[in-house]
Amino acid sequence: MDKQLQLLKEMTDVNAPAGFEQPMTQFMKGLFENDGIKTIQDNTGSIFGVKEAASNHSIMLLGHLDEIGFMVTEITEKGFIKFTNLGSWSGTVMTSQKVTILTRKGEVRGIIGSKPPHVLPADERNKVNPDAMFIDIGTANREETLNAGVSVGDAITPYSEFEVMANPNYLLAKAFDNRFGCSAAYEVMKDIKHNITLYSGAVTQEETLSRGAITAANLLKPSLAIAIDVCICSNTPGMEQSGQAKMGEGPVILLSDAWNIGHVSFRRYVEQIAQENEIKVQHDYLTGGYTDAGHVAVSNNGVPAITISVPTRYIHSNVSMMHREDYNGAVMLLKKVVESLDDAAVERIIKQEI
């Protein structure tokens, strides 16, 4: 396994759902410090590597640290665990899936229990009720579950191992949403030439209404911002009419999402950089989802903000699949954009002269 694959494996292996991002904050801090890169953090745990320049302007590249997950809300007398969502889940992808409960004593494996079809009435076999779900860690009663270390308020994450698929460009893991963005933000910082100050890192609680983007943007006060996140992948059965982005055909520049219209001048600038460097890009838009660009765009006096994505299969489930060349294209595009910017270019973008 090469260094890049090892980085992606280690990042996706970290268990850090929304509100419980500290393990990822520390992981990112270690990466930056090992490379001698100064860091800055807000009080929620959002963290950025900093490369300063003698300039009037700065750019913020932000992935998000958190993944979707759950939180323990109740332990029943029979030892089963009730839970609530951290982030958006569909019940159709939850039943019979392995999870990891993050207790103070360590990790505890469990499974989201479900009834076998043999005992379900015909009218219930195709219905899913998340409120009726529970987690089974293999205990006989409440006391055994408590003795295993499980407490109300503990975080829960999906369990899935990192794997390279039959085509080695296809990578499978939990939490590419959004360890893709974390990894890309880190890789951009390496060996980059820059004329404006660069903040590159990741924020907390994107999956729960993008809260960390607000505090981080207020801390950094960037001139420009690019959110780095996953997007819908349309080249799987049944998804052909649900989007335009296809896995393996390059990074995606989002035109808009539920919270943000990509800043037109900045988008055009990025498109120009992609063309000049022969980086293949795609375009898409989201009607039912958002990225951190939305909150950064309305921070301070307003920030030109866009989102650069990669098409990712099976997001917001226990597993996700990403194409390595889309990832590399996104990293290359982000680097070229940052390296091309100077104070004059930033001013032209802000004044919408492009």
Tell me which residues are annotated as active site. 206
Which stretches within the chain are classed as H helix? 3-13, 22-34, 142-147, 176-189, 211-220, 264-276, 293-297, 324-340, 343-350
Exposure class string for 269-307: b at 16+ Cβ within 10 A, else e: bbbebbeeeebebbebbbeebbbbbbbbbebeeebbbbb
Please give the structure tokens belonging to residue 258: 């539920």
Nearest Cα residue to 256 out of 293, 224, 230: 293
Say if residue 178 is preceded by a cis peptide, omega within 30 of 0: yes
Nearest Cα residue to 228 out of 284, 189, 170, 184: 184
Which residues 6+ apart lie within 8 Å of 344 measured at CB?
A: none
Which residues 6+ apart lie within 8 Å of 254 measured at CB?
A: 231, 262, 283, 284, 285, 286, 291, 293, 306, 307, 308, 309
Which residue in this structure is represented by tokens 């039959």? 166
Nearest Cα residue to 65 out of 198, 172, 216, 190: 216
Can you name the residues that pair with 48 across neighbouring β-strands? 40, 201
